[in-house]
Chains A and B, each alone.
Chain A
């Protein structure tokens, strides 16, 4: 693998600190320069801090909370914060100011989209629009606050000074409040959209499911049967809008997932007061693929091993997490079933691009659906065959998205990367202002993240290597897209480095949207590298057979009295013995290494045998 997660993450941290922890010219003191221009840019600020906190929480070597254990390379990269002891203290202040910056004057957490909202009319989003809470901020905040909670607790344990303890406790309390608020936000933005098979949405959905040309009636039946368990799971849920999903009709179809923000008319969640006041929503009552994927990623952190082992959730949060988990499972199941529906030799996912029920189509949607399918396969420990099929989908997307292939002339695929896909935010104009969009351009990085995830699951050595090679090629592409100069050098994203069609580079600041996706991919790659090497049954058999032959020959030497015939033979036999023990010790975890050791042993033993043969004149 050409991706070196440790090295690359250190480089990103170095660039992050260089660009974001800047010295004030007048006071000579350093401060955190926020990713967003305004205090309503919660998404940028969260992504920027996650670039630091996500690896710190997920990769043991990058942990920051215990100065005694911080590794030297990390201390070196974070030197602008101060010594190893000062690093977590400075960080505590930065994280606290983040949590305060994104709360209103009464201390209620806010998840505003801010500068992320764009319009296509030239009219700027109104003040009211800029402060609308968005799902992406809820989801990112879950990941970030969980990272902060783990950090604050462990850091606090090592402290004695009362003032520092108070700071750590304040940080923990603020993070916990934001976590509750983010969970409430996600519950209120979840939705199920039911429609009839004959409706426009129904027809679009059926058209993309019909790989085998079934008559419509049969298709509807088949699809409903396939989705029966999801349907049952959703039936008892009160969805964000407060309605109960009505999915009973014989020809009723549905979609589930997350809208872009709190749904219009969503009631307040009772018994979740710790998260502060709940503002009314305006978002369209329908799932969006992009926000669904983002929400699934964030929610998954709520029941990760780390969250459970460290006991990061309080009782109220555990209740909310249970509710979210049900929605999370159903949604994942729904999209995975849809994507791999049918008995034919072709998954709907394999017909690119993916069509949404609001008549949009893009390879980006195919990628998002693949992302959900990846999650589902991880959850269900899918077979190598299915995993590698999904891997081929990603390889195809890499080609079509012009990540592993060159873009010639006015290739429309370049638009995936710049300006990216525009997602219309239905309902955002209700508070006054233009129609709003969400711009997403992280195609390449999302691709890498999923490739690494699948590669980590596959046992088959060749399939795994194939995926890693694909991952390397996507990484090569991403590396080229780093900014090559200026304050944000070595961060992302400068697509014109790869796509000459886009003209001269013009990115002056980092795209945290892009950079955090790369960081997530690298964290995934670090996990992959930390795991045991893939086991090959073939190699294990070879190791066993080689060891068996070597042991037999060794025993023969002993029987022949080799151990008593002088120092040099005795030394040799001792070495042989030690090597054999070592080979047996590692034969299951690292069979190829075991074979290499035994081969040396066999050569040594054969030298003795050959010499004897010669002596006997044979």
Chain B
């Protein structure tokens, strides 16, 4: 299965949430590949604590592969390469967790038939090797999005299940932006149609993930004053109404991640050590990742 992670605005926590989702998936025994397609700023190495790839790799990453400069992109096996002790060593029953980093100092580049062809062949190979391939696209409408839309429209990938996750924060502006990215004039569906996708089919593959959500009822926010909670509740109702109207309500929502200090200030994987032993992250955050990991690969109901 191919999953494309994107967002309209920066700072949604798209990368850190995606990494945590694949991490949870691997812990449950799935073989997972994580592809950093954020060519302008390939920082996923930092999230997995791989010091040598904090800002992309120098050994030839996805960027160089797609441009045809190298035959194979570099792979980093997290269980072996991570510099964080709690991530080193594959846990019992866990599957493979492989990072395909971008190139340090790379940049955006436009699609060409050759690039799309290399992208298709990479996806096909990974589909055989991994249960789940998550492609982290950059924020906004990018060349990377264009490339993968062209690649997935190709008949040779028609048998492969592909899904889209759009990340957005739970605010008015982000809700509008996320809806625009999916359904707008220059959105994914419109662009997909122009590149040969079926409108309804593509629409069915899109789900939304809410990040940094404040739940007024949660224990973490029990310190708020009554007036603050009343205000939050009202804003929340307005947002829910707005989201429903823009077709990014509960029906098309895959899950939501609560606001968490560790995610805000240390954009990293949350391991069980962080919640159980050290108690710096909230268990509700981990629950949200586990739920997302499960729902991502479950069968999605017809809408």
Which residues of A approach B to under 8 Å, CB–CB? 66-70, 84-86, 158-161, 163-164
Contact = CB atoms under 8 A, between A and B. Distances in A.
Contact of A70 (B250, B301, B303): B250
Tell me what chain B mostly uses at the interface: helix, strand, loop, or mixed.
helix
Contacts of B244: 66, 68-69
A158 B251 contact: yes
Interface string B187-205: 0000000000000100110
Nearest to A86: B301
B219 to A, nearest CB: 16
Contacts of A70: 250
A63 to B, nearest CB: 11
6 contacts: A66-B249, A68-B250, A69-B244, A69-B250, A159-B303, A160-B302
Given A85-B251, A158-B251, A160-B200, A69 B240 contact: yes
B303 A161 contact: yes
Interface of B: 200, 203-204, 240-241, 243-244, 249-251, 301-303
A67 B250 contact: yes
Given A160-B200, A160-B203, A160-B204, A68 B302 contact: no
A91 to B, nearest CB: 15
B303 A84 contact: no
A597 to B, nearest CB: 14
Contact of A69 (B203, B204, B249): B249
B302 A163 contact: yes
B301 A85 contact: yes
Nearest to B203: A160
Contacts of A68: 240, 243-244, 249-251
Nearest to A160: B303
A485 B243 CA distance: 42
Contacts of B302: 160-161, 163-164
Nearest to A70: B250
A85 B200 contact: no
10 A-B pairs closest in CB distance: A68-B249, A68-B244, A161-B302, A68-B250, A69-B244, A67-B251, A160-B303, A84-B250, A67-B250, A68-B251
B301 to A, nearest CB: 6
B250 A85 contact: yes
Contacts of A69: 240-241, 244, 249-250
A160 B303 CA distance: 5
A68 B200 CA distance: 20
Nearest to A159: B303
Most chain B CB atoms below 10 A, which of A67, A68, A160: A68
A557 B273 CA distance: 61
A158 B303 CA distance: 8
Contacts of B251: 67-68, 84-85, 158
Given A68-B249, A159-B303, 12 more contacts: A67-B251, A68-B240, A68-B250, A68-B251, A69-B241, A69-B244, A69-B249, A69-B250, A70-B250, A160-B203, A161-B302, A164-B302
Contacts of A161: 302-303
A67 B249 contact: yes
A377 B241 CA distance: 37
